[in-house]
Structure 1
């Protein structure tokens, strides 16, 4: 009897230990943020939309006249991997997930303000779900124009699976198993997880519902998921690439320390005055507003044909500059060297914005040829940093972006392109813009403009 009891006790212990081990293995460090029964550990802030629990789901209901409303965790998190499922049933029910979210109870005159990184749920035709938005602060960080294949991933009326990794200064998102957005930014290192019910424009959309379930998080022994797709990274480190970017062929055109890789246009060396490098920032000084008559333009010593080029720029009030590409330096002209130009301009204060045809000399336009289709809300104010991007594909398709939003597209050498050249200031140059390769140029237009994070990837 004694031995039998010992055997039973030993068996129970082994079974219990085995069950615990199996449970730990299944959980693998994950824990539920939502218990499926009530909203313990959560609180509603910043609006009057409602959240309730039914059938193991969190259900958020839109309310007329309410600003964005958030259900946020009482616990704060630093590095984590978060997974959840989200469903909206109507195109008006914009939503999102706050990652390292911030809350100011005194914001909006004491009504409370939620701000910080938000992972978008966009049921509209725009299709920017799982893009990264900086709520109530800087706006879009990673619009899904940067990853157009992801625009069709979100399914309205169905549950969509989100995965969010916030590790160090890197935030990555997946939607229904596919990579979407990759941002490198260190503005917020800790914060809450939040679920959003967006404000509504039309009273008839009151009562629309957003659903969340299976909300779980992992904060230790993090195992990042491989990032397999070759996608642009919005990298806010100062002149420093991620390992992923380096592995995928990106390199810096400006190292942040000196003028290596650059020289004056029509010169053998870098200008000795006018251009300066301070604290990782490349700046052309303000003079008299004239074009390339003082320090002069600078160009890369290397030439490029097909490439993906990204750069940050900061304008001062009333300033004018530009980034040119396919600059051959063969024209021997006076003033700025000839090339296709991504316009950099204070549209409100500089007179050049009113010249040309239908705004084709405004910020991010293909200068004097194609007007940028940008919306003002995607452009950051004068004195703040904006992100430019120019992509030239091997088949001569070209795209301009500002802050991740595509605003210009055309084909070099097409009949449409040549027709535009024929009515522009460039009509005197034979085969303008059609050189097989050329330098990249930063313009001295006599105004103070700064650059950083200039990086390029050649395309084959």
Structure 2
């Protein structure tokens, strides 16, 4: 027995040496928490049988076991097993300093979410920008997590690209440059109910590689790109192209015009902005549309509202119909819901932010909405079968099907009831609306889908 134990011990040493020789380094020695320190809350962290065990403690905020060393570019692998009623995560490129919320740990987090929502492998921005990559953006990854079992994480951070895998299944793909370097941390989430005290999460086989990094091949995973007007290699691989180059008005013109409006719009600091004109709809520069028409597509755009502002992004605009100075089309509403009176018109809020204007009210999830003056990420997806979705900051806000009985019934009760076959054009232009308020757009990109 003693010989077997010695052989086993030698085998472990050989494996560890082989791992280190291949460029991998263990972040956890299997015995104690050397190289780690605890920040913020006082959840319990112990070492048991070669595992780090995190245990919830009632009345404590989020707790973090943090590496003493910072890491920039790396590949991280580890295994975890979590109580089905817990929420947790692995921080990366994260920070804690007195100047930010009194030392509050903040930064990127690899989400661990055993709830039915199934967002394990998504990327959250702890104590900073909220969700960056919820897994509704990649629903195929929601089944990667295995309840009650050990799960394997892989995290790639190379340059401004961050990618996640759970049990070998690709989950999130984020491009962002806010924090290029920081610590890695194991989170035990705070609990608000005494009955949840004592829930546990376990981590083991934590290793990192920081040299000779080779990114995994591109695999078609949906990309969230936070860098303005940037088109990453992965987005190009997925078929996206820019509709706005950040510098010129190329590819755009005024509605019913051959050229871009001579006034009312400006391009500056990588933004295309409709200027304020006392809230008068299309009385200054007027709406602008893409030169090209589209049928099935994924349209992404960032937008920033000023206080009380109203605008919109329309699609399937044919320029055959017009009301006042505005062209007609299906509209993703862009609005300051708190201050603009349009939010209280229509039916049950169907003129509020990200709604299908005057037809379908958007999801009322408050976390999806950024404060006025901050950038929001909008998205419209039109599938080849005419299913349409509106998204806001990674949250699905609206879904409907063009031409369905439900859609036709909504049109018949709306302001569009007088237009024959409203919203049913086989293709149309993308439009940015001039509603007389200052609103800025950037990172406008599109991927055409095959019918």
Task: Tell me the TM-score normalised to structure 2 length.
Answer: 0.95
| Distance (whole Å) between structure 1 residues aligned to residue 66 and residue 15 of structure 2 | 32
Secondary structure of residue in 1 paired with 2:304: strand
CA offset at residue 243 of structure 1? 1.2
| Distance (whole Å) between structure 2 residues aligned to residue 438 and residue 305 of structure 1 | 7
Secondary structure of residue in 2 paired with 1:352: helix
Counterpart in the other structure of 1:94: 87
| Distance (whole Å) between structure 2 residues aligned to residue 311 and residue 401 of structure 1 | 10
CA offset at residue 81 of structure 1? 0.4
| Distance (whole Å) between structure 1 residues aligned to residue 387 and residue 339 of structure 2 | 32
Counterpart in the other structure of 2:144: 153
Counterpart in the other structure of 1:294: 284
Counterpart in the other structure of 1:339: 329
Q: Is the contact between residue 228 and residue 442 of structure 2 (CA under 8 Å) also seen in structure 1?
A: yes
Counterpart in the other structure of 2:64: 70
Question: What value does the CA root-mean-square deviation take over the aligned residues?
Answer: 1.5
Q: How big is each residue's C-alpha offset from its partner over 1:343-377, in whole Å with a ceiling of 9 and x where there is no partner?
A: 00001111100111111100000000011014111
Counterpart in the other structure of 2:339: 349
Counterpart in the other structure of 1:163: 154
CA offset at residue 171 of structure 1? 0.5
CA offset at residue 21 of structure 1? 12
CA offset at residue 151 of structure 1? 1.3
| Distance (whole Å) between structure 1 residues aligned to residue 192 and residue 402 of structure 2 | 42
| Distance (whole Å) between structure 2 residues aligned to residue 349 and residue 259 of structure 1 | 30
| Distance (whole Å) between structure 1 residues aligned to residue 106 and residue 399 of structure 2 | 33
Aligned residue pair count = 438
CA offset at residue 89 of structure 1? 1.6
Correspondence for 1:282 among 272, 276, 293:
272
Counterpart in the other structure of 1:220: 211
Q: Is the contact between residue 145 and residue 166 of structure 2 (CA under 8 Å) also seen in structure 1?
A: yes
2:27 maps to 1:33: yes
Gaps of 5+ in 2: 1-12
CA offset at residue 104 of structure 1? 2.1
2:396 maps to 1:406: yes
Counterpart in the other structure of 1:264: 254
Secondary structure of residue in 1 paired with 2:343: helix
CA offset at residue 231 of structure 1? 2.8
Q: Is the contact between residue 146 and residue 231 of structure 1 (CA under 8 Å) also seen in structure 2?
A: no
CA offset at residue 293 of structure 1? 1.4
2:111 maps to 1:117: no
Q: Is the contact between residue 85 and residue 215 of structure 1 (CA under 8 Å) also seen in structure 2?
A: yes
1:332 to 1:106, Cα distance in 2 relative to 1, 3 A: closer
| Distance (whole Å) between structure 1 residues aligned to residue 197 and residue 19 of structure 2 | 44
| Distance (whole Å) between structure 1 residues aligned to residue 15 and residue 148 of structure 2 | 38
Secondary structure of residue in 1 paired with 2:96: strand
Counterpart in the other structure of 1:83: 77
Counterpart in the other structure of 2:167: 176
Q: Is the contact between residue 229 and residue 442 of structure 2 (CA under 8 Å) also seen in structure 1?
A: yes
CA offset at residue 423 of structure 1? 0.4
2:124 maps to 1:133: yes
Which one has the largest radius of gyration? 1
Correspondence for 1:415 among 387, 391, 405:
405
1:20 to 1:43, Cα distance in 2 relative to 1, 3 A: closer
Q: Is the contact between residue 19 and residue 25 of structure 2 (CA under 8 Å) also seen in structure 1?
A: no
| Distance (whole Å) between structure 2 residues aligned to residue 423 and residue 160 of structure 1 | 51
CA offset at residue 201 of structure 1? 2.2
CA offset at residue 335 of structure 1? 2.3
1:169 to 1:350, Cα distance in 2 relative to 1, 3 A: same
Secondary structure of residue in 1 paired with 2:132: strand
Secondary structure of residue in 2 paired with 1:75: coil
Counterpart in the other structure of 1:11: none
| Distance (whole Å) between structure 1 residues aligned to residue 59 and residue 308 of structure 2 | 39
Q: How big is each residue's C-alpha offset from its partner over 1:142-183, in whole Å with a ceiling of 9 and x where there is no partner?
A: 111100111122122111111111110111111110111111
Q: Is the contact between residue 179 and residue 227 of structure 1 (CA under 8 Å) also seen in structure 2?
A: no
| Distance (whole Å) between structure 1 residues aligned to residue 22 and residue 109 of structure 2 | 26
Equivalent runs, 1:300-319 vs 2, <5 Å: 300-319=290-309
